[in-house]
Each structure stands twice: as structure tokens, then as C-alpha cells.
Amino acid sequence: MSTSPKILVTSAAGKTGIPVTLQLLERGFDVRAFVRRRDARADRLEAAGAELFVGNQYALSDMRRAMQGIDRAYQCAPTAPNGLHFNAIFSVAAHESGVQHVVTLGQWLSATDHPSMFTRETYISDRLARLAPGMTVTSVDPGWFADNYLMVLDMAAHLGVFTMPLGDGDVKKNAPPSNEDIARVAVAALADPEAHAGKRYRPTGPELLSPNDIAAAMGRVLGRKVRYLNISEKMMTKALRAMPPSNFSNAAVSQLAIYADEYRRGSFAINAPTSDVLEVGGQAPEPFEDILRRTVAARPELRSSPARRLRAILGFARILLTPAMDLQEVQRLRDFIRLEQPRFSQQSDEWRATHVAPSAV
Ligand SMILES: NC(=O)c1ccc[n+]([C@@H]2O[C@H](COP(=O)([O-])OP(=O)(O)OC[C@H]3O[C@@H](n4cnc5c(N)ncnc54)[C@H](OP(=O)(O)O)[C@@H]3O)[C@@H](O)[C@H]2O)c1
């Protein structure tokens, strides 16, 4: 084996792709970063020492070229439709080019008959990756990222509300990991395949938080009172549609609604927090409030001003005026494969056997 392995990072300009790339470079690895286009994020990765590969990671011809000379790879399907297509292409190209070790980003919820087609696809993708002879795999399966809460920070900063469909405000339902801590676990596994081959990790933050805890942390960091508002699924779809262009297609929104349902059912609280960030990533996981402080410091537009408050009020009015989405119709129009008897993670015996501590069954 080469003494200096070359590592491919897919989705390198994404939430986990950026810190995975930067942390690998900090540790002295030779990194090829797969990006869709040259932009400020790609420039940052290149300035840090990454070799950029600009292309379409859903195209096998591009993925084959990106895999040339690669020894290890970070497999990260975007939060978008066609995840299984991406993962199949990744697995074919990795197998053909003789990649030795893959770290694949999956989901804590991954289960065979899950109502979310995206989630079923991550389950199948994980199995596919493990079929290639001669290639070892480490799975990193986080739950709900801390980053998801940051999407609604503007509203918290300017209107004093934290709005998400997370159910009862007092129940502690998630120990949210930072993108950087998820990356730390992935990077440890990419750096030392022998120690991590075949393993499955679930990075979490240091403690379980309730929606009210999250609102209170936002309030402390923003220097104002922030109240949690448990919105309906319908309102969530209106908010996601009214947001400025983001990565989320209608199809992705239909799946996010299912993840919010899992959140309310308490699936992200099971067996959380874990010690994987500390034991695998090598340092204590970041508290949510520290993630918030970092984010707020980097976003001057979150500081209050009458003009920003007015913009936030107009944004809220836009949400109210935006038509809600019919999530069943979106899935039908996209020809999503539907199961006769879908099962949320906790309804699956297989999932419970592998994810729930025996004492809690
Ligand atoms: N969010 C959660 O709470 C959560 C929880 C558990 C698991 N996950 C898993 O996390 C994964 C997503 O990871 P992430 O959040 O780090 O990724 P991400 O932020 O969605 O990043 C995806 C990246 O891929 C790029 N991309 C999209 N289409 C491309 C194309 N055709 N060619 C080249 N690049 C392309 C995007 O580019 P642009 O930025 O230019 O669009 C983006 O930079 C998903 O598989 C999801 O299942 C997420």
C-alpha cells in the first residue's frame, strides 16, 4: 500500500464535505475534492491544498475519472433525490478503480421498510458498498444534524421565535452533532482503515436537548428571548417553499416531513448521546451553544436592526401566503416507490434489534 494514500471526498462543498476535506488536509493527506462548480467554497478547499475535481457526481463517466488513482473515499450522497443512483455510481467506480477503503455517510434512521424512500435508499446503499470484494467500509450514521436548526436562525434573531414541527417543547429528543464533529469521525476512519473497517458509528452532540432547550440556547447566544413554536407539517412545507433557493427540492421536502415525524416519535433520542465523537474523533463533541456562537459570529446579518426586523416580518408574511404542499401528491408525481406497509424506524424489529439498547426493548 502507498505510504501516502490519496483520498476522494464527494459532495466536497457540502455541509460535511467541507470539514472532511479541511480536516484531512490538516492531517497531511492528499485530497481530491469533488465539487459541482468553482465557487467560493471550492476556492477555499483549493487554497487549503485540495486538488479540485469539477464535475457531475451523478454521472458515471465523471465519477470514474474522479476515482482514478484513489485509495480511499468519502461517500456522501447529497440531500436530494437520486441518492441511490449516486451511491450505485460511486460503488461501481470505486470497485473498478480498486479503492481500498470507503467511509459512507448514512442515516441513524436507516431501515428496510422505512416510509422515506431516501432512507430506504441509504439502507440499500450501505449494503451495496459492503458487497465489493477487497474494499472495506466504515459507516457513519448520524441522526438530525445541529445544522438543521441553523436554517431558522434568522427568524429567531429578528422575530424571537424558533419554529419547527418538533412536537412537545419540553421533551428532550435530540443530541445534535456539528458538521465538524461528524467529519471528525469520518476523517478518523479514512485515516486509519484497519482500526475502523466494518464498524458503524453514530456521532452525536454531548447532550439531549428539548426544543425549549434549543430556543433558550438561541436566546442566550442572540441576546434576546427566543420562544419555541411547534408548527404544523403544513406550515413547515410553506416555510421551506418560501425560503430563498436552497438545496431542497419538493421531493426532498416530502422526506424532511417524514424525518420531522421521526423526531416527534423520539427516534433521534434513542441511545443518545454516544461517545463516538470522543472515542473515534478524538475530542469531546461540541455543545450546541458553541455551534450557535460560531455561526452567529460568522453571520453579521443576524445582528438586529429595524430594517432586518422588517425584512423578517415580510418573510414571515411570505410564508403565510405561500401555498402548502401536498406531500403525498409530490411523491406520486415523482413516481416514488411506495410500500404497502411502511414502518417507522421504531416499528421495525430489525431496526430495534440493532439500534435500541437491550435494556430499553
Ligand atoms: N441533515 C441531516 O440531519 C442528516 C441526518 C442524517 C444523515 N444525513 C445525510 O447526509 C447526507 C448529506 O450530507 P451533507 O449534508 O454533508 O451534504 P450536502 O450539504 O447536501 O452537500 C451535497 C453537496 O453535493 C453537491 N452536489 C449536488 N449535486 C451535485 C452534482 N450533480 N455534482 C456534483 N456535486 C453535486 C452540492 O452542491 P451545491 O452546494 O452546489 O448544491 C453540495 O455541495 C445525505 O445523504 C443525508 O442522508 C443528513
pLDDT digits (tens, 9 = 90+) for 193-219: 999 999 999 999 999 999 999 999 999
Would the CB of 45 count as within 6 Å of ligand 1?
A: no
Q: What pLDDT does 80 receive?
A: 80
Ligand 1 atom closest to Cα of residue 17: 16
Task: Describe the chain by its helix, strand, coil percentages, rounded to 5.
Answer: 50, 10, 40
Q: What pLDDT does 6 receive?
A: 98
Q: How far is the CA of 1 from the centre of ligand 1 (A)?
A: 30
Residue 231's CB is within 10 A of a number of other CB atoms, namely 18
Instruction: Give the whole-angstrom CA distance, residue 166 versus residue 159.
Output: 19
Do 147-175+205-269+286-337 and 6-141 have the same topology in CATH?
Answer: no
Q: Whose CA is nearest to atom 15 of ligand 1?
A: 15
User: Does the global pTM surpass 0.85?
Assistant: yes
Ligand 1 atom closest to Cα of residue 119: 47
**AA letter at 168:** D
User: Which grid cell sits at 110?
Assistant: 436507516
Question: What architecture is domain 6-141?
Answer: 3-Layer(aba) Sandwich (3.40)
- Give the mutation target among 45, 84, 89, 105 for probing the ligand 1 site: most ligand atoms within 8 A of CB: 105
Q: How far is the CA of 358 from the centre of ligand 1 (A)?
A: 33
- Minimal CA–CA distance to 103: which of 177, 195, 22, 28? 195
Q: What pLDDT does 259 receive?
A: 97
Half-sphere exposure of 339 (CA within 13 A, CB side): 14
Region of residue 135 (left: phi > 0; alpha: psi -120 to 50; beta: else): beta
Q: Which CATH class is domain 147-175+205-269+286-337?
A: alpha beta
What does pLDDT average to in each consecutive run of 10 residues of the chain (361 residues)? Answer: 84 98 98 98 98 98 98 94 95 97 98 96 95 95 97 95 97 98 98 98 98 98 97 91 74 93 98 98 98 97 94 91 90 90 96 83 48
Would the CB of 79 count as within 6 Å of ligand 1?
A: yes
Q: What pLDDT does 222 receive?
A: 97
Q: Where are the domains of the chain?
A: 6-141, 147-175+205-269+286-337
Instruction: Give the whole-angstrom CA distance, residue 214 versus residue 206.
Output: 14
